[in-house]
Amino acid sequence: MFKPGLSQSLKLGQKLSPQQIQFIKLLQVPTTDMERRIKEELEMNDALEEAEENATPREEFVAYEEGKAEQPEAEANDIDRNDLGDEQLSEYIGPDDSYDNTGKLPYSSDEEDRYEVPIVQMSTLFDALESQIGMLDISAHELALCHHLIGSLDDSGYLTRPLEAIQDDLAFRSSIEAEIPELEHALSIVQRLEPAGVGARNLQECLELQLHRKEASPANTLAIKLISKYFDEFTRKHYDKLIAKLNITESELRDAIQIISRLNPKPGESQTADKVSYVVPDFLLIVENQEIDIKLNIRNAPELRVNKAYREMLRTYVDKQKRNNASQEVKETIQYMKTRIDNAQSFIDAIRQRQLTLLRTMMCIAERQKGFFLSEGDAKQLKPMILKDVADEVGMDISTISRVSNSKYVQTDFGIFPLKYFFSEGITTDSGEEVSTREVKKTLSEFIENEDKRKPFSDEQLAKMLNDKGYTIARRTVVKYREEMSIPVARLRKEI
């Protein structure tokens, strides 16, 4: 029988400080959002301000190195300031005379030109369709139905909701009565808009809509028949059955397939700007004379400092308190201002610690994967590397390295790569050498690229081929790697 009572127990735990939490949050902020995050802090804390136009990162970092700003608490195995100090940091974020507080990259013009600046079309699918529908000569009722249908399309341009549900929405939300045939007619109007295939209710209808827009030809007529009447056999690549059923030659089927393969299964995505994802790299990695040079992108992180006028104001209040008995109001004001200044300095230190952490992580990755960068991206040169390897080397927690690798990118002269690309497990070859699983995947991909598409390799055959190369791989592992690379099974890779 349970008896109530009191007991004592000891527990060992670690609680994150506000400074640690702030650092961790900043570490996860992508480069594109840093300016917004800094502006938010500037608006919230009047003790924080952007540095003057003639300030340089070196001046700020020298003050930091001389002990004029305290290092924020972080995790137990924090960055050693003496290991990679602020003077070293300033080398990696550009020389003093290249610094610009307006947010430009602190690199020479040649280096800045290396950064790829993405240009995004700011018109959405909804905008494009609305502008087209407004130019059609249709009735006000048809126009209202078309507007509602356009608003019901998903990002890929499909109408996934049944017309009966849209009919109910029109009645209850807009007080518009519409029969199903009327909605069918309105949908046919939407389906005549650009891009071709928009307004389809499934993939089959989407492809049909696009095919009917193409110039008439025997191959296009056959393509329409394949999609409209033999869609299931076509998607399963039962080519021999199709040739027999349709009494066509292999060449005729190949021409029709070629037309279908050029269609867009998601026509709306080409117009959906708000879903376009683009990358602003966090690092620029340059290889010159077999030496690797790394720069940190601080385009969106202007230099910050504690407001000098705010410090002077605090000093005035403190002097006033020393000269005579200060009122409760003055004491509260002093405490408020001290808190604001402390918060401002903590934010500045967290940003600097973020820069140090990013650089140290990228420098470690570059050194460990030097062969990859010197070979201009040969995946076979990648070495096995896990989060713990980097964490141990830079003296930080695995969770910190994970946050960096999952959200940061590096630009090289041969492409932009997420940092997580460089992490992979290793396997041991027959010769006893440890190689990256990426090397194995690269070899597997090459086997599949060069296979006879009439008779694609099975997973068993691929496993044997890899074993013949010295990679001890089971069939189930081949299946795993193939699926991770989004490569379909042999049956679906078959061509004619």
Listed range (4-13, 150-159, 253-262) with the worst mean pLDDT: 4-13
Domain assignment of residue 254, yes or no: yes
Q: Which residue's structure tokens are 């037309």?
A: 259
354 vs 430, higher pLDDT = 354
**How many other CB atoms sit within 10 Å of the CB of residue 162?**
11
d(Cα 122, Cα 137) in Å, to the nearest integer? 27
Cβ atoms of 439 and 426 within 8 Å: the answer is no
d(Cα 69, Cα 163) in Å, to the nearest integer? 64
Q: For the segment 338-382, what is each residue's pLDDT rounded down to a tens digit?
A: 888 888 888 888 888 888 888 888 999 999 899 889 988 887 788
Domain assignment of residue 377, yes or no: yes
Q: What is the mean pLDDT of residues 32-36?
A: 78
Element (H, E) at 294: strand 291-296
| Cα 325 versus chain centre, distance | 58
Q: Are residues 261 and 300 in the same domain?
A: no
**What's the confidence (pLDDT) of residue 453?**
85
Please give the model's pTM, rounded to 2 decimal places: 0.53
Q: Are residues 382 and 429 in the same domain?
A: no
Domain assignment of residue 3, yes or no: no
Q: Residue 298 corresponds to which tokens in the numbers above?
A: 């601080």
**What's the confidence (pLDDT) of residue 336?**
83
**Where residue 416 falls among pLDDT bands split at 50, 70, 90?**
confident
Q: Residue 225 corresponds to which tokens in the numbers above?
A: 């028949």
Count of domains forming the chain: 3
Q: For the segment 53-112, what is each residue's pLDDT rounded down to a tens digit?
A: 544 443 332 222 333 333 333 343 333 333 334 443 343 333 333 323 333 333 333 444
Q: Residue 258 corresponds to which tokens in the numbers above?
A: 């070629």
**Where residue 5 falls among pLDDT bands split at 50, 70, 90?**
low
Instruction: Give the CA count within 13 Å in the CB-facing half-sphere of 399.
Output: 10
Q: Are residues 395 and 289 in the same domain?
A: yes
**Where residue 146 falls among pLDDT bands split at 50, 70, 90?**
very high
Domain assignment of residue 4, yes or no: no
Q: Are residues 26 and 50 in the same domain?
A: yes
Q: Are residues 74 and 103 in the same domain?
A: yes
Name the domain boundary from 270, 288, 316: 270
Q: Are residues 359 and 484 in the same domain?
A: no
Q: Are residues 345 and 250 in the same domain?
A: no
- Beta partners for 191? none
**What's the confidence (pLDDT) of residue 198?**
93
| Cα 282 versus chain centre, distance | 12
Q: What is the mean pLDDT of the chain?
A: 77
User: 54-60, long-range: CB within 8 Å, 24+ apart, which pairs?
Assistant: 55/99, 55/101, 55/303, 55/305, 56/96, 56/97, 56/99, 57/89, 57/90, 57/93, 57/94, 57/96, 57/99, 57/106, 57/303, 58/87, 58/90, 58/96, 59/96, 60/303, 60/305
Q: For the segment 235-280, what is each residue's pLDDT rounded down to a tens digit?
A: 888 888 999 999 999 999 999 999 998 899 998 876 654 444 567 7
User: Using CB atoms within 10 A of its CB, is residue 64 exposed (0-12), middle (13-18) or buried (19+)?
Assistant: buried
Angle at 293 (CA atoms; ends 291, 297), nearest 5 degrees: 165
Q: Which residues fall within 8 angstroms of residue 72, CB to CB, at 6 or more apart?
A: 19, 20, 22, 23, 346, 349, 350, 353
Structural domain containing residue 172? 125-270
What is the sign of the dihedral through the CA atoms of 369, 372, 377 and 382? negative
**How many other CB atoms sit within 10 Å of the CB of residue 68?**
10
Name the domain boundary from 390, 423, 456: 423
Q: Are residues 263 and 133 in the same domain?
A: yes
Cα dihedral angle (431, 437, 440, 445), rounded to 10 degrees?
180
Cβ atoms of 445 and 487 within 8 Å: the answer is yes
Q: Give the range with max mean pLDDT: 96-105, 152-161, 317-326.
A: 152-161
Domain assignment of residue 11, yes or no: no
Q: Give the range with max mean pLDDT: 127-136, 149-158, 344-353.
A: 149-158
**What's the confidence (pLDDT) of residue 230?**
92
Q: Residue 333 corresponds to which tokens in the numbers above?
A: 């004001």
Domain assignment of residue 234, yes or no: yes
d(Cα 118, Cα 238) in Å, to the nearest integer? 42
21 vs 323, higher pLDDT = 21
Name the domain boundary from 377, 399, 423: 423
d(Cα 475, Cα 459) in Å, to the nearest integer? 6
**Where residue 436 falls among pLDDT bands split at 50, 70, 90?**
confident
Domain assignment of residue 12, yes or no: no
Q: Are residues 482 and 353 in the same domain?
A: no
Q: Are residues 65 and 133 in the same domain?
A: no
**What's the confidence (pLDDT) of residue 343?**
84
Listed range (86-95, 319-328, 416-425, 479-488) with the worst mean pLDDT: 86-95
Q: Is 336 left (phi over 0), alpha (psi -120 to 50) or beta?
A: alpha
Q: Are residues 403 and 478 in the same domain?
A: no
**Letter for the amino acid at 36?**
R
Q: Are residues 71 and 150 in the same domain?
A: no
**What's the confidence (pLDDT) of residue 117?**
45
Q: Which residues fall within 8 angstroms of residue 115, CB to CB, at 6 or more apart?
A: 105, 281, 284, 297, 299, 411
Q: What is the CATH number of the domain that holds 480?
A: 1.10.10.60
Domain assignment of residue 117, yes or no: no
**How many other CB atoms sit within 10 Å of the CB of residue 427?**
17
